[in-house]
């Protein structure tokens, strides 16, 4: 299990995370991908750059992994990774383009926390000025269990 810290910009948040979306018009939607769900993605399109760190994170991701979503101010939501797939459909139809072609359904989404970046840094024993740049996988040698208990994801 890996704990993920995922950025949520306003436009993408409103498009696919704030509320479940209807994917019934997605012609080649994998059968196991929910038709009604929240969706998030990882930037991995090789035509738009090298995404070594994101590709490594994607390789380690598993269904059920916990996620904390953050914006410029705070960590505001918890969730778990659902069904994953590679597609341009979400990017092109909901996010207006970009390199996020690896997507996953977002399960057990709850906007039930308000954790400052300094609080998270203190719990995970990060330097006070740490700020993730893009999706981030928290190393297993950090006190992940303490954070998961605090946010109700144990």
Domain boundaries, the chain: 3-148
Residue 143 to residues 68, 75, 126, Cα–Cα distance (Å): 15, 17, 10
What is the pLDDT at residue 138? 95
Q: Is the pTM of this model over 0.75?
A: yes
Residues 113, 110: Cα–Cα separation, whole Å? 8
What is the pLDDT at residue 79? 97
Question: Which residues of the chain fall below pLDDT 70?
Answer: none
Fold of 3-148: ph1033 like fold (3.10.590)
């Amino acid at each position: 299990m890996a704990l993920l810290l995922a950025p949520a910009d306003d436009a993408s948040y409103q498009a696919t995370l704030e509320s479940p979306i209807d994917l019934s018009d997605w012609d080649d939607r994998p059968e196991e991908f929910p038709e009604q769900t929240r969706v998030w993605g990882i930037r991995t399109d090789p035509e738009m750059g090298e995404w070594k760190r994101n590709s490594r994170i994607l390789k380690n991701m598993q269904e059920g992994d916990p996620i904390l979503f953050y914006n410029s101010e705070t960590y505001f939501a918890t969730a778990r990774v659902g069904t994953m797939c590679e597609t341009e459909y979400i990017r092109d139809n909901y996010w207006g383009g970009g390199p996020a072609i690896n997507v996953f359904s977002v399960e057990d989404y709850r906007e039930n926390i308000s954790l400052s970046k300094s609080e998270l840094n203190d719990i995970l024993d990060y330097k006070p000025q740490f700020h993730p740049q893009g999706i981030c996988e928290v190393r297993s040698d950090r006190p992940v269990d303490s954070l998961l208990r605090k946010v109700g994801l144990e």
